[in-house]
Structure 1
Amino acid sequence: MPESRSRKKPAYTPPTAASSAPKPNPVWWVPVMLGLMVLGLLWVVTTYMSSTSFPIPGIGSWNLAVGFGLMLVGFVMTMRWR
């Protein structure tokens, strides 16, 4: 009985794993994050101290929304901080 031919197939090599480690944040990330939180806090404090007439005189109580919005953006940035 004749012998069967062996296959000339290369051995299986698994694909190289891409580095799944999270990349570090840019250098400016933390100063901007902290700056937005502090600026929002100062905005809200200024609004309360001036009875909603400052920092932007024409918008009244919306000054609080601007201040809390700035703080919210800063806090959202903390979730992406590595």
Structure 2
Amino acid sequence: MPESRRRKPKKPTPTTTAGASARRRKPPSPPWFGGLILAFFLLGIAYLLVYYFSNGGVLGMEGLGGWNILIGFGFVVVGLAVSTQWR
């Protein structure tokens, strides 16, 4: 019966000091960070809903015209960008 090849012995791994080359983990996000993300999402959605349901007739929205859509989605995009920093 054929004999299987022997495995090579494992090379010892060099030990490093704990602080020298270890990757430092970033601290977790503060508790209010989740609320900030949610606030940006809700603010953007609320802005868009007010614009659509009022047909742009709300004071301050009248002069902006189509830019209102960009502003509403801008809040949502900022919320998405902030959410990528969540830990």
TM-score strictly above 0.5 = yes
Q: Deviations over 1:8-38 (max 9, x none)?
A: xxxxx84534552221112221111100100
| Cα drift, residue 78 of structure 1 | 1.4
Q: How many residues align?
A: 70
Gaps of 5+ in 1: 1-12
Q: Which amino acid aligns with 2:27?
A: K
Q: Distance in 1 between matches of 2:22 and 2:62?
A: 54
- TM value normalised by structure 2: 0.67
TM score, norm. by length of structure 1: 0.71
Aligned residue type for 2:25: A
Greater helix share, 1 or 2? 1
Structure number with bigger Rg:
1
Asked if 1:23 corresponds to 2:12, the answer is no
Provide the residue aligned with 1:51 in structure 2.
55
Q: Which is worse superposed, 27-36 or 55-64?
A: 55-64
Query: Is residue 80 of structure 2 the alignment partner of residue 75 of structure 1?
Result: yes
Amino acid at match of 2:36: V
Amino acid at match of 1:77: V
RMSD (CA atoms): 2.0
Q: Please point out which of 38, 41, 44 is paired with 2:45.
A: 41
Q: Deviations over 1:47-78 (max 9, x none)?
A: 11111233622211111111100011001111
| Runs (5+) with no aligned partner, structure 2 | 1-14
